Structure 1
């Protein structure tokens, strides 16, 4: 079973893992809230999708209790042999349920999220529960060493085995290298959920500053609006940026490759990441990136070679780096893009991640009862 706070996440970020598990003979169940990708999980990836009532941004005691009970009921009913949890609430709630029921599970820390970016009584309690859930896991996967060290320093792991992976891995056959487009108009693209914590507001302000100097520059913004998160960008904010003319909003898409082909540089001024998928996708297609100098983001590039760093929460710093990118020679941008692709091939191949999950399963399951066979799951 794979548990997440959205079906979108499982389809877009874990499709390679799902396909590898089914190819190995496992029966895979996806437990996640219903969205437009729920059917695609079943129809395209061959998994059994089970709906989950889980509010990604909810904080009320009653609402969260309902989510925990719903998750517990589903896991008791389905009796999975092993559970992989993804995203913060799934890690905590599913981890607590699996630990109570004696079901083996692994947590995947794909980013620390709001609970670690902000500090309050509520988020301190969240971190405490995270530790309880992690300490019962067969393994906790991380996407960068700094997140791993932070969990260790906060006592959120103790003796739980851990493994640092290169994000969710890149499908290098799907995200193939693409030459840079013509230099004019110079095009930036930010691909992210429209959240304050992703640095969307800083990107909008930086775009305004860049276009004051280079009016023909394009600043594309791609991603879902109305996301279930406490820092979600409002429709009014977005409309104001678009009306002013410095943001070109392209909406949500399930295939970012055509937009990445149009761009010269990807931008992600996030406040913190595990390992930003959009930076890896852009790099695989030969696009350098400007990212904030924070955990996760800085691990996705090689500063000065495959991309450049800006200060976090600083639109002026971001605008400065965007202007420098415009003023670099086309040959310099091409070399950075080629270096980005080479980095993906050397260190971020999806096969590394899939192999780690399969090894986790083979070391945790009873071979005589639930390991895959030629005829499927025993």
Structure 2
């Protein structure tokens, strides 16, 4: 492993890049339903379906470009890839802010999917600068960045959106371009020259990447499947939650923004602080179990909730799901060598994007079929219950992969399994 000490100071820069990216994403979430309705003149149920297809298009771009970006970062380094993506994201938010027609918004979301694929490079950066036994906690800090972005983002988006539906997009553009300037000045490269490898377009796709990574360890396939299934369960929140809250509880834009801020705050608290406290006591495998239980319990609470305070109880319980992704990602990163971390993270994000293609239409269709005057059964919480069932599959896949990796590399895993 290369010497990582000179680069550890830049961990905070990557954290800031991810956090500000998610802040920009969170800002537009509360106003997207209203903007779709304004541009298309449809009702909330149809707007939810449109949003589902927008989410699928966003994810389709990630499926194609995440392996490309991950492999490019293995060839040219993490820094130039991250900076280029952040700059293009800022320009894209400006495009969406000025959209006079729905198809401009469609184009903007597709471009955002390409730039959002840069998270593969960000996670590879963390793997570069963090020892294997500490990666679960470090990936948890990336979850803190995601969560913090959703604390401030939706709340700010709700406030700005109450003035003008397009104002949050301009704010997101300003944040992204500021982020680019900040990274241009302070971000250092994490991937040493000796750990770089040639780029091959024919191999820059999820199937080729997984085939190559499987040669290093067959357990990669189990962990990638677990992360993809978890993405399918977790994507219920960005794809349908605002529409679910409006349909089930009659939330306003302000209510949606504040509730999503609470989701972000509780998630940040669990991943940034709770994971570091609980992981040494629970161990990584039990932490994943607790996280899946949290998602399932919150789904039931969302379905039964009738008052606003009950929704916030469900949000608090659901925050436990922050224990799931970082340990699985840590196990996965230990299965391959330092030269392949970008390729691995690109493959993970690409497979996860398949779930994000399937998830938004699936959850929004479930909401449309189980809410409103033409509902099969009046059960707006059906998307949340569906998500809970899928999360159990994640647990089974992770257990299988962890068991195989423990047999394959017992010495490398001894520190984590003894926690």
Give the TM-score normalised by structure 1: 0.25
Give the TM-score normalised by structure 2: 0.24
